[in-house]
Chain A
Amino acid sequence: MEKSISVNQLTKRFGKFTAVDAISFEVDKGEIFGFLGANGAGKTTAIRMLTGLSKPTAGKAMVAGFDIQRQREKVKRKIGYMSQKFSLYEDLTVRENIVLYGGIYGLPNKVIREKSGLMLENLELKEVSKTLVKSLPLGWKQKLAFSVAIMHDPAIVFLDEPTGGVDPITRRQFWEMIYEAADTGVTVFVTTHYMDEAEYCDRVSIMVDGRIAAMDTPYQLKKDFQAKSMNDVFLQLVRPEKSTAL
């Protein structure tokens, strides 16, 4: 199967501190890959390297067929990105944000118009298309930001804690959007620290102190760790001394 992301010994050091310690993994095309870890485990640093925001100290990674060190700008055409500090302009309206990002990715005006119409309809944001983004509820902003991030039909979309701070129902709705996107063939690379969300992923990797401590399907991980939930798996990995199962 075609690999969407392949990472080999990727490392990032800040001075003496190693944030990401020689991680290696591969993600298939169309897969929903969960990138889990406690705060400070190195998730965000890793995602920043893969999206070209941060230069790796060592190692190699191919994203959408391009080298993240030497072909950073080519990678950027192929990816979408949504960060935990959302990336929309709060002082622009919903429609203005859509048009701006459509334009930045070089979509023709006609396509921008079609897509924004469709997007507003699907998100049920038609009524508020002229509202400033800052006055939207958090959950709506996140859905809009996600739609904008995949507007240019990227091969891979990187989501860095996309659902922080909203209720479980809104999170569930957000994941339905992720599934829809994955069904169209987009690879989804998502970081989260909600363990219920980990269950929704095709495959997860769990990072502890800059290293990948475990990586498999949620089903297999639970089986290996004899755990009832992903939360149990996570706790065993993060705090092995306190766990009883190992």
Chain B
Amino acid sequence: MRTIVFLLRKEFLQIFRHRIMLVLIFMMPLIQLIILANAADYEVDNIRLYIVDRDGTQASQRLVGLFEASEHFEILGYGQNPEAAFNSIQGNETDLFMDIPAGFEEQLSEGGPAAMQVSVDAINGVKAGVSNGYVQAILQGFAMAYAKELAVVEPGTAQPGQLGIEYSNWFNPDLSYDNFMVPGILVLLVTLVGMFLSSMNIVKEKEIGTIEQINVTPIRKYQFIIGKLAPFWIIGLLELSFGLIVGKVIFDIPFVGPLWLIYLFAGVYLITVLGIGLLISTITDTQQQAMFLAWFFLIIFILMSGLFTPIESMPEWAQRITDFNPVAYFVDVMRLVLLKGSGFSGIQPHLRVMIIYAILINALAVLNYRKASS
């Protein structure tokens, strides 16, 4: 125990001696949180739209008005000539053009289906999909309102059955992207700091040779490893607290569930992440190799965490991979506790997996760490 105290003191002395490192550890998340939370969301705004109105009637005008009123669209061109619309999308001046054919109003007032064409620049598939959704929503709203009015004006007209859906967004009523993204990004930051710092720190001792000196002393493996991981465990939790405060103060993210649950999970989670860092350090010899390997895991963990793309929409095999992704569990727990207000029973399955993960990874890392080379 006393040996561990000496080792901890050494680690903290070294960490605090490198002022730049300290600034990096705490400024980096602050900056990233502010930038990413504001930039990385699924919303698409300022979709540049060109409308070809070959009908030129009241009905078509009204439809155009709806698009004008939408915050998602910016009408860049309006005319009768489809050629011009085509050219503008070709020339990357617009993202989308809508072609209202002649006879549009006539078809509508007869109650029949009115055809129109929407063409989207789909180079950015995500943006195209989202744009499509917005267009669909506006068109549906328009068609429904029109049919209703028609029924009032001409009571005899046959009205197609209408199905109105009203959405109610639970746990994130305003569909706030900050609420959705900030807790997730926080997980990434804690992961990043934990995995990098732990793997680099041990490999650095290998590089400069001080690990040899440690290995000829009677220090036990577990003492050395606790001495190495505990400081970063503490820093990770501090970082999490710091991030939560920033999230609360700047983004006003809700803390619906109990915070101690977050810390309980984070405590186990960090042991897993630090264990992965330790494992990386046992199989690499230089900081460069460790960095490379850590990135390899991090990229997969982050992109498959469900933060940027929903896990449910991944192919089956990819979903099975995310079963082994610790980041995905923590992102989920953050959202469950902070937004939904889940209690202990709500995150129990996650916690169970994470405890097993922490034990397995660290056992592997400890087995792989050798004081003597063979």
Residues of A in contact with B (beta carbons under 8 Å apart): 48, 51-55, 72-73, 76-77, 79, 81, 83, 85-92, 96, 99-101, 103-106, 132
**Choice from A85, A96, A132 contacting B212 with Cβ under 8 Å:** A85
Tell me whether B14 and A89 are in contact (CB under 8 A).
yes
Contact between chains at B2 and A106 (CB < 8 Å): yes
B31 within 8 A of A: no
CA distance A81 to B371 in the complex (A): 15
Find out whether the CB atom of A52 lies under 8 angstroms from the CB atom of B217: no
User: Do residues A87 and B213 form an inter-chain contact, with CB atoms below 8 A?
Assistant: yes
In the complex the two chains form, what is the Cα distance from A51 to B214 in whole Å? Answer: 12
Q: Within the assembled complex, what's the spacing in Å between the Cα atoms of A203 and B214?
A: 29
Partner of B217, one of A54, A96, A105: A105
B contacts with A, residue count (CB < 8 A): 27
| Inter-chain contact B218/A87, CB cutoff 8 Å | no
Q: Are A104 and B3 in contact (CB-based, < 8 A)?
A: yes
CA–CA, A99 to B372, complex, Å? 25
Q: Is the CB of A79 within 8 A of B216?
A: yes
| Given A55-B374, A83-B213, A85-B209, 8 additional A-B pairs, CB 8 A | A52-B372, A53-B372, A55-B373, A91-B14, A100-B6, A103-B6, A104-B218, A105-B218
A92 near B209 (CB under 8 angstroms)? Answer: no
Find out whether the CB atom of B216 lies under 8 angstroms from the CB atom of A104: no
Q: Is the CB of A91 within 8 A of B18?
A: yes
Let me know if B10 is at the binding interface, CB within 8 A. Answer: yes
B residues 1-33 in Cβ contact with A at 8 Å: 2-3, 5-7, 9-10, 13-14, 17-18
Interface residues of B in 212-236 (CB under 8 A from A): 212-220
- 21 A–B contacts, CB within 8 A, in A order: A48-B373, A52-B372, A53-B212, A55-B373, A72-B372, A73-B218, A76-B217, A83-B209, A83-B213, A85-B209, A87-B209, A87-B212, A87-B213, A91-B14, A96-B10, A96-B13, A100-B6, A100-B7, A104-B7, A104-B217, A132-B17
A53 to chain B minimum Cβ distance, whole angstroms, is 6
State A86–B212 Cα separation when bound (angstroms): 10
Which of B3, B9, B18 contacts A106 (CB under 8 A)? Answer: B3
Task: Kindly state the separation between the CA atoms of A103 and B223 in the bound complex, as whole angstroms.
Answer: 13
Selected from B6, B212, B214, B374, the residue in CB contact (under 8 A) with A99 is B6
Residues of chain B with a CB closer than 8 A to A132's CB: 17
The answer to whether A51 and B217 touch across the interface, beta carbons within 8 angstroms, is no
Tell me the smallest distance from the CB of B205 to a CB of chain A, in Å.
Answer: 9
How far is it, in angstroms, between the C-alpha of A53 and the C-alpha of B371 when the chains are bound? 7
Q: Which of B23-50 contact A (CB under 8 A)?
A: none
A131 shortest CB reach to chain B, Å: 13
Separation in Å of the B12 CB from the closest CB of chain A? Answer: 11
Which 5 pairs, one residue from A and one from B, show the smallest C-beta to C-beta distance?
A: A103-B6, A87-B213, A85-B209, A81-B216, A76-B218
Residues of B within 8 A of A72 (CB): 371-372
**Min CB gap B373→A, angstroms:** 5
Q: Give complex CA distance A117, B372 in Å.
A: 33
Chain B residues with Cβ below 8 Å from A101 are 217
